[in-house]
Amino acid sequence: MEVRSIDPAELDLSLGRLRQVPEQSVQSMMSSLRGKGQLSPLVAAKQGDALVLVDGFVRQRAALRLGLLPVFVAVVELSGAQMKAQMYLRNRERGLMLVEECRLVRELHDTHGLNQVQIGDLLERHKTWVCRRLSLQRSLSPGLLDDMSLGLLGGGVLRRLALLPARNQDELVAVARREQLGPKDTSELVDLWRRATDPEARRYLIDHPLDALRRARGETEEVCDPRLTDSARGLLRALAAVSVASLRLEQSVQRGLGEMPREAIELIVTQQSKADERCRRAFRELGRWIQSQGGS
């Protein structure tokens, strides 16, 4: 292995399609390079006349932005499959994102023709680890798997999305981006979608995801209109709570209640009758008050 001083712009970045380079990481590396300089060399493999970058994509981009010339690069001899394996092995301590691992395993399988055992040996992982990633990449929408921003959603979201048809995966990810949802909110939205069997409920999730998430969590928006009295604000909170409870009730029934003895069913019928009567009585009172105020 030799170490060279090279212009970072001259490196072949073709393997960058397998990696995520978050902007936050680039900014942090720029700060480190300004204060401490380059602490470790980038790693590149010779491929004909080119030097293919294997490790150091964040450092390379940060150096380019800073105009840092040249950079130190460790040049190694590697085959095509070994280059991709080194991308994983050299980042094993930090860990790659799940979507990066899926892309890497797919390339080793589809491009290099390696089987699961061979990939496991190359990456120093068990074949079941390889199998899970191959299964996940086959279940994800092709467009999503190649989307370089998908890694920001996190592994939990990817696993949930993989349970849906491809077109629904694309639709929900588009909603998450539109509303700038984080991984936690996106995971909850996917879970709500899977539980919702009614087309209208699913359309509501697409059109009003933030409101749907808030209602599913039992959260209510505090109304701070100065025209409202304390009693009126309490009334609005109560109406919001009824709305959330109704949504939860509907979802519970749609998910199924399972087999129950007759006594349990009779208890549910009794409680339904009481709740129905109380709600009807409360809404009648509210309706009479609204009419007395000239409302419709």
CATH number at residue 25: 3.90.1530.10
What is the percent of the chain with per-residue pLDDT over 90, rounded to a whole number?
A: 45
In a domain, 148, yes or no: no
The SS3 of residue 64 is: helix
Q: Mind giving me the DSSP string for 75-116? A: EE---HHHHHHHHHHTTTTT---HHHHHHHHHHHHHTT---H
Q: Is residue 204 part of a domain?
A: no
Provide the number of structural domains found in the chain: 3
Domain boundary among the residues 46, 63, 78 is at 78
Q: Do 1 and 74 belong to one domain?
A: yes
Residues 32 and 94 in one domain: no
Q: Does one domain contain both 130 and 66? A: no
Q: Give the per-residue pLDDT at 296.
A: 61
Closest C-alpha among 19, 75, 23, 70 to residue 47: 75
Rounded to whole angstroms, the Cα distance separating 177 from 251 reads: 26
Q: Encoding tokens for residue 93?
A: 């301590």
Spatial distance between the Cα atoms of 230 and 175, rounded to a whole number of angstroms: 36
> Which of these three, 59, 78, 97, is where a domain ends?
78
Is residue 69 in a domain?
A: yes
Instruction: List the one residue out of 81, 79, 104 whose CA is nearest residue 91.
Output: 104
Q: pTM for the whole thing?
A: 0.64
Pair (59, 94) in one structural domain: no
Nearest partner of 72 among 2, 150, 170, judged by Cα: 2
Residue 123: which of 225, 281, 132 has the closest Cα?
A: 132
- Three-state DSSP class for 4? strand
Highest mean pLDDT among 119-123, 142-146, 150-154, 218-222: 119-123
158 falls within a domain: no
Per-residue pLDDT band at 148 (split at 50, 70, 90): low
Q: Note down the domain range covering 16.
A: 1-78
